[in-house]
Each structure stands twice: as structure tokens, then as C-alpha cells.
Amino acid sequence: MSHYDTNLDKNEANYVPLSPLSFLERTKNIYPNYEAIVYESRSYTWSEVYKRCVKFASALDKIGVKVGDTVSIMAFNTPEIFEAHYSIPMVGAVINAINTRLDPKTINYILNHSDAKVLIADRQFHEVISKALENVKNKIRIIDIDDKDIDTSSFKKIGDLEYESFLNTGDENY
């Protein structure tokens, strides 16, 4: 055994597990007022993004999402999908990003196979998602993303929850 291998057991001085969640928290602490997201008319700092992610994670917890549950999301590259990639793991749940180009039958299969508890969905996909939900085996809570930067008047509601309202039910101290 090499002398380099001795006395190097994992400890606070030489080992810190890295995860996207630790990267987000570190970035929030180092660059709190730097822009993190710019999307159409909206922009958020790292501090704001962190707070929104924590609130969304808390809101998911409040509706019963637990460690190991699957939360699916079908959306374009918007701030909401970015936040979901942090919020869902904060609860300990599994993120299941669904390709926006899939047909209803394939989406239905994915939702059933993943045993999704929640689906976060952009209302622009209301037609394909409504068809995909017709024969799902389990009850799925739907959270609608309503993009404020486009006209969504022709898009039907898919679920009973709206993203921003749902996020605001969360606790920022979660």
C-alpha cells in the first residue's frame, strides 16, 4: 500500500458530496444578485431562483410528494422547467422529463410506467396531454404552466393547479 493511501478516509476536510442542489445553494450564496434566468419579459437572480425552488419543493411536499415518488414534467425550456430540475430533487422525488414531441400513446405509457404522482405541464400541450391522461392507471395531480409571455387564451386548462399559484403555497424556509 502506498503512503498516499493511508489516513485518507472521507471526512469534512477532504470530501464533500456534490450534487446539483449543492451547486444551486453555493451559487445563491456567492452570486445572490447576479441574473440566473432571463426569459422573455422575466428575469430572476440566483437568490430569487433558489427561493422559488425551495417554495415549489415545499408545495410538492404539502400535496404528498415523498422521497422516491415520480414527478413528470412536459414543457418547453422555460424558467418553470429549470426550477423543476432543482425543486423535485429537493423533495427527494424523481424527475421524469417528457419529450414535447411524443404522441399521446407514448406519453400515457411513460406516465403509467413511471407511476407519476404529479405532472407539471405547459398548457400549450393541452390536446396531447388530455388524450394521454384518458387511460392512466393512477391519479395524477396536474400543475398547469401558463406562460405569461404568450397568448394562452386558446389553450385549455389541463389540471386544477396553476404553477405560480401552487408555488406560492410553499414555504421559503422549507
The model's pLDDT over 40-59, given as tens digits with 9 standing for 90+, comes to 999 999 999 999 999 999 99
Q: Per-residue pLDDT for 137 more than 70?
A: yes
Over residues 15-43, mean pLDDT: 94
- Per DSSP bridges, beta strands 94-97 and 42-45 are unpaired
User: Is the pLDDT score of 106 beyond 80?
Assistant: yes
Q: Which residues of 160-171 are buried (b: 16+ CB within 10 A; e: fewer)?
A: ebebeebbeebe
Q: Give pLDDT tens digits for 55-96.
A: 999 999 999 999 999 999 999 999 999 999 999 999 999 999
Domain containing residue 39: 15-167
Q: What is the pLDDT of residue 73?
A: 98
Is 7 domain-assigned?
Answer: no
Whether residue 73 is contained in a domain is answered as yes
Task: Tell me the average pLDDT across 97-120.
Answer: 98
In a domain, 9, yes or no: no
Q: Is residue 163 part of a domain?
A: yes
* Inside any domain, residue 8: no
Q: Is residue 174 part of a domain?
A: no
Q: Is 3 within the bounds of a domain?
A: no
| Cα gap 18→34, rounded to integer Å | 22
DSSP state at residue 125: G
* Number of domains, the chain: 1
Q: For position 1, what pLDDT does the model report?
A: 63
pLDDT at 12: 80
